Structure 1
Amino acid sequence: MNITGNTVFIPGATSGIGLGLALRLRDKGNTVIVGGRRTDVLARLAEEHPGLGTVEIDTTDPASIEAAAASVLARYPSLDALITMAGIMRPEDLRDPGFLATAEATVETNLLGPIRLIAAFLPALLARPSATVITVTSGLAYVPLPLTPTYNATKAAVHSFTESLRVQLAGSSVQVIELVPPAVRTSLMNQENSPIAMPLDDYLDETVGLLEKQPDAQQILVERVRWQRDAVAEGRYDEVLGVLSGRYRD
């Protein structure tokens, strides 16, 4: 992916990593459109960040995805990048049958959302001379945080889906990149001030730098996430799982 001159749609980019990445990419000379459910938040972002496009989208609703895709492609026919950023992360107690509602919502948002987005936008991206799909997984796709079992599972599934997508699109005009964040100081799991999470600006600096230096990358891995990403290959899986098992316990 070239770091400049793109037209990029990022659903789920009204806060946290998504918004930060949207603004960094805009500042690199890209046309960026962010998507979200709340029209008031979208209006505020458009006012606060001139040049940032907005579109209403609920990535848990197939009809909303189809409507947003039609709107984005009509307004931005040169769209050549999709970043499937939207996601939720919630704790679950698997001993309590009530966890099922959280699990279903997590699958709907974190797994079906990206799959539906790719289905909606891929035909248009394939028609471009050069295009990019960026999925967003997590270090927890490689070693799970036991407190959030369905979140971990969806991120592992998106990783697997991304690998298959890349193989199927080999030889096409579409590059497939997997963004693999560690824990980052965002509102996800109330980690804004967590000492064990990576500062947001540091994560964005390193990520954009890697995108710039590695235009042919298949994965974007900041150093902080390699502790999880490389645990199996380095024989540290049980150690890392043990550390994660002790985190966020009540």
Structure 2
Amino acid sequence: MKTTGNTIFITGGTSGLGLGLALRWHALGNQVIIGGRRKELLDQIATEHPGIETVVLDVDDPASIQTAYDEVTTRFPDLNALLTMSGIMRPENLLDPGHLDTAEATITTNLLGTIRTIAAFTPYLVTRPDATILTVSSGLAFTPLALTATYNATKAAVHSYTQSLRLQLAGTGVQVIELVPPHVATTLMGMQDAPSAMPVEDFLTETMAILHDRPDVEEVTVQRVGFLRDAERENRLPEAIAALNSH
């Protein structure tokens, strides 16, 4: 992926890592468009960061995805990059039947939202030069946290879907990149002040460095996520699961 000269649409870009990446790309001179549910928040971001554009988008709603696609490709015909950042993370008690509501909401946002957005934008991106699709999984796709069972499962599915997408788009000119974040100090699960979490700015700096230094990268894995991402292939998965779930 080239780091400058892109027109990038970021779903779920109103906070956390999505907003952080938007600001980093914007600072490099890319045209950045942020998609999010709350128009007032989108308007605030656009006011505070002149040059960043916004589009109302609810990835839980297929009609909203189609409307956003129509708006983005009409207003920004040079679009050549898509980042599917939208996601939710909620605790679940699997012994409580009520957890199904959380499971279904998580699947709708994290997995179906990702697939539906990619399905909408891919036919356009395959016509564009230097096109890139970026998905977001998690270290928990590889080493699960028991408290967030469905979140882990959706991120494992995003990882597998991304691999299949890359294979199917081989030869089209569209690069497919998977971001694999570790535990980062964002508002997901209220972890913004967690001392064990990787600071957001540190994650952003290392991620942007990887994208700059390795333009052909398939998985963006900062050093901190290696404990989770590499546990199985390093034959230490039981130990990693035990350590992750001991707190």
TM-score normalised per structure 2: 0.99
**Aligned partners of 2:233 and 2:150: how far apart in 1?**
24
Consecutive unaligned residues in structure 1, runs of 5 or more:
none
Aligned pair 1:223/2:223, yes or no?
yes
Q: Give the 3-state SS of the residue equivalent to 2:178 in structure 1.
A: strand
Q: State the AA in 2 paired with 1:182.
A: P
Q: State the AA in 2 paired with 1:114.
A: T
1:104 is aligned to 104
Shift of 1:236: 1.2
1:173 is aligned to 173
Aligned pair 1:86/2:86, yes or no?
yes
After TM superposition, the structure 1 = structure 2 runs for residues 123-202 of structure 1, keeping only pairs within 5 Å, are 123-202=123-202
TM-score normalised per structure 1: 0.98
**Aligned partners of 1:155 and 1:217: how far apart in 2?**
19
Superposed CA RMSD in Å reads: 0.5
2:34 is aligned to 34
Consecutive unaligned residues in structure 2, runs of 5 or more:
none
**Aligned partners of 1:144 and 1:60: how far apart in 2?**
24
**Aligned partners of 1:158 and 1:31: how far apart in 2?**
26
Question: CA-to-partner distance for each residue in 1:149-173, whole Å, 9 max, x for gaps?
Answer: 0000000000000000000111111
Shift of 1:233: 1.2
1:8 is aligned to 8
Shift of 1:53: 0.5
**Aligned partners of 1:172 and 1:38: how far apart in 2?**
34
Q: State the AA in 2 paired with 1:66.
A: Q
1:46 is aligned to 46
Shift of 1:197: 0.7
Question: CA-to-partner distance for each residue in 1:45-89, whole Å, 9 max, x for gaps?
Answer: 000000001000000000000000000000000000000000000
Q: State the AA in 2 paired with 1:76.
A: F
Q: Is the 8 A contact 2:206 2:222 kept in 1?
A: yes
1:64 is aligned to 64
Shift of 1:245: 1.6
1:245 is aligned to 245
Shift of 1:195: 1.1
**Stretch deviating more after TM superposition (238-247 or 20-29):** 238-247
1:24 is aligned to 24
% same residue: 59
